[in-house]
Amino acid sequence: MIDIDDALEKLSQTDKVRLLSGADFWHTAAVPELGIPALRFTDGPNGVRGTKFFSGVPAACFPCGTGLGATFDSDILYQAGVTMGEEAKAKGAHVILGPTCNMQRGPLGGRGFESFSEDPVLSGLSAGAIIAGIESTNVTATIKHYVCNDQEHERNSINSILTERALREIYLMPFQLAIRDAKPGAVMTAYNRVNGIHVSEDPYLLDDILRKEWAWKGLVMSDWYGTYSTSAAINAGLDIDMPGPTSFRSFLVERDINAKLIQQHTLDERVRTVLELVNKAEKAGIPADVVESGRDIPETAALLRKIAGDAIVLLKNEDSVLPLSKTKTTAVIGPNAKIAVYCGGGSASLVPYYAITPFDGISAKITSGGVTYVEGAKGYKMLPVIGPNTTTLTGKMGVSFRTFVDPPEVTDREHVDEQELRTADMFLVDYAHPAIKGRPIYYGEVLATYVPDETGDYKFGLTVYGTAKLFVDGKLIIDNETVQRPGESFFTRGTVEEVGVVHLEAGKSYNIKVHFGSAKTTKLKSNSVSFAGGGLRVGVGRVIDEEAEILRAIEVAKGVDQVVVCVGTNGDWESEGFDRSNMDLPGKTNELVSKVIDANPNTVVVVQSGMPVEMPWADKAKGILEAWFGGNETGNAIADVLFGDVNPSGKLPLTFPKKLIDNPTYLNFRSERGRVLYGEDIYVGYRYYEAVEKEVLFPFGHGLSYSTFELSDLSVSATADKVVVSIKVTNKAGPSGAEVVQFYIKQHNPSIKRAPKELKGYKKVFVPAGETVTASVEIDLKYATSFYDETRKAWISEKDTYSVLAGTSSDKVALEATFETAKTFWWTGL
């Protein structure tokens, strides 16, 4: 352990300044002569990537944040956190940059899939459970992005304008609950401004609320490239500026200290916090410079499958179309059937140990009758990446990647590095090799062999941050170098996907070659963050006549007993770096679903998305599952629920509106000349839909089961400190299964407008067939009853009558009981 007081006396001012920023993209600075080691950070919110975007070590991928929230199960989220902690140790990481705990304010947020819910209580309790699990392993969790980082459009400059009440009740509440319950070791600041000030330099948010009012003790770090000042950020309480090296935390800090813009004691406070984290990290027992490895073990696989299955929400099950039969003839149709949509895009993405497709999961369940597959329609935004469908120079699955110091025009150039990669989706921000160190420009080459299954025309796609050209059997097919068009790839630094078409014959081998120039060769101009190295993505897909493919799907559907249609979005549609423009499913997906249902009423639709999608065919579909981005085990988990091996118990952690225009942020989403007005105020999600009596597609908390549950005997008792609620849950019919009882509270005579009801607690209970169990929760009275009083700058619990509304979704409240509070009081803190 470091003697912090002694270290502060011995550290030079230059070393103190160095400790306040990253040494590189993933590590803090070390001072070896004083025994101060570097710490390693790693993404992420749904799995531990390690330190490599490029050629990363495979990892356990959990369901996306929305899927984790859909479990409504703090116990299993705690287990997830424990496993994340152990995964971090295998990657040599002391600090996990997660969980993400921003509010799903509207359905279009690009990173909405990373967060848990539209409800602050569900968000905060879910985050707290995962954090507690991570911290139990002595790995540090970093709750992010504090606060109001809920859209991607102009995220570094956007000014989020909102009332203090909305800030407190909706956006800060998840962080408040997680800090109260789990005390994460670190907090990451948001990119955006809140009411005019960037969070990373806002003393009100970082010092007044986080450190003083909540009495939280831990380290505050910036999001990557989310620091915009020197003295303002340090004085506000930002301990570490990431990544490094950074100009903000170098000679500029020393200049500001000399000018007394930063006081010496303030500098020492920031350094003390860093050293406290170093001491805390020592308990994890992670040796220095650990070589990253994986933990692909049966216990991890079983947990991932369990969580993914529990996250799936059965939205509809008319005529008991589910569970499906394992002995009937089955068709699996749809663009998401043979693709494992395991995570969203951006910094949450990682290389999984493996990823099970829905088609593979379903095929493994069928014991007789066989499975027929039809793609039916295109579901991709960018062509499916090559790698899983190609071989390297040595015949392994994937692609070969070579690095050069000379451009392709040099005929006798020799490569300085060669690697075999699983895919040709490469973000080279952290790629390093001695031969290219210090070179602003280097070159690469992707080599692969592709053997198509069918004869026909194929599209190749090429997306680059840098420059690139694609060749098939030596013929130039795509030139993404001479002329380039800006796109959304590689955090908006890359090009659009340029496409070329080639006629290929089934069973024949084709040589794919891509010439690549690193980031500095790009011809694009951008104001966004610049990443060293650049990026490259190569895709391929068969050109299909979608109308003919839909007709083919219809005929197949008519000829089988049961149909599963797999549709949804993926990491191309939902990603860090940009927001969605609508809630539509891709391309002709809706037409495909509608016509297949018409052809065979025994059709079940499996939707995979991170955020809500419109379902114009929902009324006539008998069965609908929402399966989210399900992690490594996504295909197995879907099949488990479809065939009844798992009794579904997931609940929607956010409302699915019928149309985009129905949602409360419709008129107030995206940046308008650098600001966004939170015009819906506290009326986020179900609070809004219920207040204006707007009909929705599927309400918050909704989720069916193969069992029939009945609630009875609601009991409520209130003391000066607690509200204790219990209720009996009976499994009246069907198999054993779990039900989530949701407890909402309504104030009868508030002095200001409040939402019709607010979720304040929930409990997931397993109920054996035919039996009854009791579900109980204990809620702090002040959290159960209070709203934020802007005039007093404090929370207020009013003397009044309150109702506890118990149900299985926000629109299915079965029972109600009341309690009284004896006096009005104000409070602050946790």
CA torsion sign for 372, 374, 379, 383 is: positive
Selected catalytic residue, list 43, 73, 119, 223: 223
Question: What's the rounded Cα separation, in Å, for the pair 600 and 611?
Answer: 28
Q: Which helix (H) or strand (E) holds 15?
A: helix 13-18
Question: What's the rounded Cα separation, in Å, for the pair 441 and 533?
Answer: 8
Question: What's the rounded Cα separation, in Å, for the pair 668 and 120?
Answer: 20
Question: What's the rounded Cα separation, in Å, for the pair 606 and 322?
Answer: 12
The tokens for 523 are: 């011809």
**Which of 58, 62, 103, 54 shows the shortest CA–CA distance to 80?**
62
Question: What's the rounded Cα separation, in Å, for the pair 122 and 62?
Answer: 18
CA 225 from chain centre, in angstroms, equals 19
- The 8-class DSSP code of residue 19 comes to T
436: left (phi over 0), alpha (psi -120 to 50) or beta: alpha
CA 550 from chain centre, in angstroms, equals 32
Question: What's the rounded Cα separation, in Å, for the pair 524 and 564?
Answer: 43
Q: 301-305, long-range: CB within 8 Å, 24+ apart, which pairs? A: 301/632, 301/633, 303/79, 303/80, 303/83, 304/60, 304/61, 304/62, 304/631, 304/632, 304/633, 305/633, 305/636, 305/637, 305/640
* Nearby residues of 125 by Cβ (< 8 Å), 6 or more positions away: 74, 177, 178, 181, 762
Q: What is the DSSP annotation of 618-673?
A: TTT-SEEEE--S--TTHHHHHHHHHTTSS------SS-B-SSGGGSTTTTS-S-BT
* Nearby residues of 680 by Cβ (< 8 Å), 6 or more positions away: 105, 664, 665, 668, 688
Residue labelled with tokens 């018409």: 598
Residue 698 φ/ψ, nearest 5 degrees: -140, 130
User: Does residue 223 have an active-site annotation?
Assistant: yes
Q: What is the DSSP annotation of 248-259?
A: GGTHHHHHHHHT
Q: Are 495 and 523 in contact (CB under 8 A)?
A: no
Question: What's the rounded Cα separation, in Å, for the pair 183 and 143?
Answer: 10
What is the set of active-site residues? 223
